[in-house]
Chains A and B, each alone.
Chain A
């Protein structure tokens, strides 16, 4: 019985954790290139989930609805950079961050007027009941969440470490002036960072909706927990985000399981506060690099 519970909570914790990690990776992509913390990141997840519901409603099969939702959300990310952030590019980083908060409200308001206040559900990606492992019931969708997240992370690390454009984005993050001096169009890399991170957010939204439903106002909490994972993992650090996401997901799931589900949201925030107090560079960040950064 004990082992069964443990397994059950671990699986649901990890499922949750990789979603936090994907949100955190979305934060990191934009932060790395611009030093902006995009508080509309959680809204990308919500919009991704709701759009997938919309496309499935139109009769799209799941993979196509997935693709269409990611594309439309990527277009939103594009628009957000091109028509809002770029116009304010001479503002301070702090002002830009406040602009992203305003954008999150606009996204949330639009989602509410388009979809109303009800939660929506997507059918699981594959049919069939839960898989029984050692007495624990594992939802096939949880495996989909883990698999798709793993694919996203692998694709991103190949992109950043192998492709010219990925390296160019890292170069902008490292030293924007030097990047301009070798002829890298920094503005386009910033645009690309918003498109990429909107896509990653949307993917997270689509895979989680069959498990935990999606509602117009879920972005704030998702964003907050994703931010906690990003901060805990060391801002800008992808693998840190992954590990920290898993830690937060597991902590939340164990708290809900063994103590009370009333405390589950508090856990991430308490861990975030601890991190900010005692190790502001995050568990996996380097304190040297943190000293050089504004946030």
Chain B
């Protein structure tokens, strides 16, 4: 569905992505893990069209999209749940959802229908429907950000660190939602620092370090991998020696 081929992205002189390649197949849940500053968000923003890569190709359903702006990429079927949620704080919860369906604005019934489905799925959002989104708690905002992205009926859902800044219990809840989405047959690219939780639910994973993919493989395989355990799962060097 999505194929990224040796992408190079720069911020001025800073070489943030140094030839990253990955692919996400139909119905797959793929995760990308990496430390702070590894370039995860840069990759996501490049895929979604917020930043243009200097070199490389991004294909979505066989067509190159690397030079398109986001407003052309969203209608092709990619939706982003951005890092830090980025909900419209000064708009109501309902208006946030309606904006999520902006590309379908001429199909009123579909928007209404999807809106009801989202509010049914997240009853807390239904209760807060007319409240300004900025007044929601962090977890509620994340649910709003996810449902807003779903309103565009994407074929590929990209989530950038959905567990960032959330309490462990809420994080669990968010991962449960992601797993449910996946069971509904959605294709998902999940960016995470919470490597264990992400690899546990993912089919495949990639490890990004300073702008390069250093490891890739099946979720469970990566979970067992020594390097991953040492760097991302907080297991000490001693255990590696033991093993």
Q: Which residues of A are interface residues toward B (Cβ below 8 A)?
A: 164, 167-168, 170-171, 173-175, 177-186, 289
Contacts and interface: CB of A to CB of B under 8 A. Distances in A.
Contacts of B70: 180-181, 183
Contacts of A183: 70-71, 74-75, 102-103, 152
Given A182-B148, A183-B70, A183-B71, A174 B98 contact: no
B102 A174 contact: no
Given A180-B70, A183-B74, A184-B99, A174 B148 contact: no
B43 to A, nearest CB: 15
The majority secondary structure among interface residues of chain A is: helix
A170 B50 CA distance: 20
A181 B102 contact: no
Contacts, number: 70
Nearest to B98: A167
Contacts of B79: 181-182
A177 B152 CA distance: 16
Contacts of B74: 181-183
Nearest to A163: B105
Interface stretch (B87-95, B175-183, B188-196): B87-95
B37 interface: no
A185 B100 CA distance: 13
24 contacts: A167-B95, A167-B98, A167-B99, A168-B102, A170-B88, A171-B91, A171-B95, A171-B99, A175-B86, A175-B89, A178-B86, A179-B88, A179-B99, A180-B71, A181-B50, A182-B74, A182-B79, A182-B99, A182-B100, A182-B149, A182-B152, A183-B74, A183-B152, A185-B71
Given A167-B98, A181-B50, A174 B89 contact: yes
A177 B49 CA distance: 11
The 9 closest A-B pairs by CB, nearest first: A183-B74, A178-B86, A183-B103, A174-B88, A180-B70, A185-B71, A164-B105, A171-B99, A174-B90
Contact of A181 (B75, B80, B95, B151): B80
A82 B151 CA distance: 31
Given A177-B82, A178-B88, A183-B75, 12 more contacts: A168-B99, A168-B102, A174-B91, A175-B89, A177-B50, A180-B50, A180-B70, A181-B48, A181-B80, A181-B82, A183-B102, A183-B152
B56 interface: no
B165 interface: no
A129 B79 CA distance: 62
